[in-house]
A = this chain, B = another copy of it.
Amino acid sequence: MSGNSIGKIFTVTTFGSSHGDALGAVIDGCPAGLELSAQDLQNELNKRRPGTSQITTSRNEKDQVKIVSGIFEGKTDGTPITALVYNADMDSTAYENIKNNPRPGHGDYTWKTRYGTYDYRGGGRGSGRVTIGHVIGGAVAKKLLKTLNIKVISHVTQVGKIKAKPVDIQKLETNIIQNTVRCADLEAAGKMEAEIIVSKEAGDSIGGIVETVVLNSPAGLGDPVFGKIDAELAGALMGIGSVKGVEIGLGFKSAELKGSQMNDEFLIENDTIKTRTNHSGGILGGITTGMPINIRMAVKPTPSISLKQKTVDTNSMEPTEILIQGRHDPCICPRITPVAEATVSMVLVDQLIRAGYIDPCKL
């Protein structure tokens, strides 16, 4: 399995680049019998679609998805599901004159070093548009999770120095759809939007934190020693462009604590073993406890900014300056939320099949 596939049994292979013909995914290992339509995929893709508000890039892509294989009479039939989104609103001219000048904070230089070539147009396959593949795979995964009543919700908890207050887990979904920044603390949401606009107007960008929560996951998911569910989740999320850190439960805060503060005591509630607190974030020994899983990602500020930056010319090997044009999100966090949901969903489904919770052949 080369680098563009994720999952051992529920395997999603993605393809495509920013300014190529199409982007998409092949989902292999989905059991037969799941109702699935292009609309299911479209609903998720619409959540990450650009051009929908003032705080996202002005590139206007409909991101219309088409399924070309794997569905028979409205249901999955056990064969690979392939879905495509054709690129439409491409403008490569902005990239032509910087093709030998690697953009700071981007993968231009490293991709070219590795492959000896680089599709510089819009970042090629290093672009955020590749997450269309994640979202397609995640949309199928989410439909499978729904059969088990498992929910995966992402929200923005920090933008720059503005931090959201904790919000009751049951209110997350209803709150985040009320603002473009997808923050569940509505008061903070307003400040975040303002902060993003300020950054944008200064030609700059801003970082933030995204949290993903999983509700109703059964206990017992995770395949130690190297396939632990926290390992797989962290790996998958760190692989999303711009993510520089991942933490689970109390995360980095746990470094400061005593064991007596950190440990979650066990108790019995409705004949089920639970933990009183959930400092572990729903995972102990790499296996789920049945408590909510929560993961936070540190998202760096968008590397594409409209300010002059120093770089080099890889042909002449001389220093030079670069002024990036193109169209970009001033803060990636809101648009990472559906991608994080998709990514977590794919990992979960793969683990659910590997643990026997989902039949690998048919529902």
9-residue interface stretch from A138-146, A166-174, A181-189, A266-274:
A266-274
Q: CB-CB < 8 A to A266: which residues of B?
A: 102, 104, 109, 310-312
Q: Would A80 and B4 count as touching, CB distance under 8 A?
A: yes
The segment out of A18-26, A48-56, A57-65, A147-155 that lies at the interface is: A18-26
Check A326 for interface membership: any CB of B closer than 8 A. no
As for how many copies of this chain the complex holds, the number is 4
Residue in B closest to A75 when the chains form the complex, CB atoms: B117
Quick check: B262 and A301 within 8 Å, CB to CB?
Answer: yes
**Cα–Cα distance between A35 and B264 once the two chains are bound (Å):** 34
How far in angstroms is the closest Cβ of chain B from A126?
Answer: 5
Q: Is A28 an interface residue, CB under 8 A from the partner?
A: yes
A88 at the interface (CB under 8 A from B): no
Interface contact A284-B107, CB-CB below 8 Å: yes
Complexed CA–CA distance, A232 and B69 (Å):
25
Decide: B287 and A113 in contact? CB cutoff 8 A. yes
Known A-B contacts A24-B82, A79-B125, A235-B235; the reply to A312 vs B273 at CB < 8 A is: yes
With A110-B220, A115-B78, A265-B311 known as contacts, the answer to whether A250 contacts B259 (CB < 8 A) is no
User: Could you tell me if B314 and A273 are in contact, using CB atoms closer than 8 angstroms?
Assistant: yes
Cβ distance A250 to chain B, nearest Cβ, rounded Å = 6
Q: How far is the CB of A80 from chain B (nearest CB, A)?
A: 4
Asked if B204 contacts A260 (CB within 8 A), the reply is yes
Shortest CB distance A75–B (Å): 7
Task: Tell me whether A114 and B355 are in contact (CB under 8 A).
Answer: yes
Q: How many of chain A's residues have a CB under 8 angstroms from any CB in B? A: 160
Question: For residue A72, which residues in chain B have a CB less than 8 angstroms away from its CB?
Answer: 20, 117-119, 124
* A140 → B minimal CB distance (Å): 13
A9 lies within 8 A of B14 (CB): no
If A252-B209, A307-B260 touch, does A226 touch B4 (CB 8 Å cutoff)? yes
Which residues of chain B are near A207, meaning CB under 8 Å?
254-258, 262
Contact A20 B68 (CB under 8 A): yes
Once bound together, how far apart are the Cα atoms of A108 and B287, in whole Å?
Answer: 10
* A213 at interface by CB-CB < 8 Å: no
Contact between A2 and B29, CB atoms less than 8 A apart: yes
List residues of chain B with CB within 8 A of the CB of A102: 266, 273
With both chains docked as a complex, state the minimum distance between the C-beta of A83 and any C-beta of chain B, in angstroms. 10
Q: Is A345 an interface residue (CB 8 A)?
A: no
Instruction: Kindly list the 8 A-B residue pairs having the minimum CB-CB distance in the complex, ordered from nearest.
Output: A107-B285, A235-B235, A245-B247, A231-B239, A3-B223, A3-B227, A110-B287, A2-B29
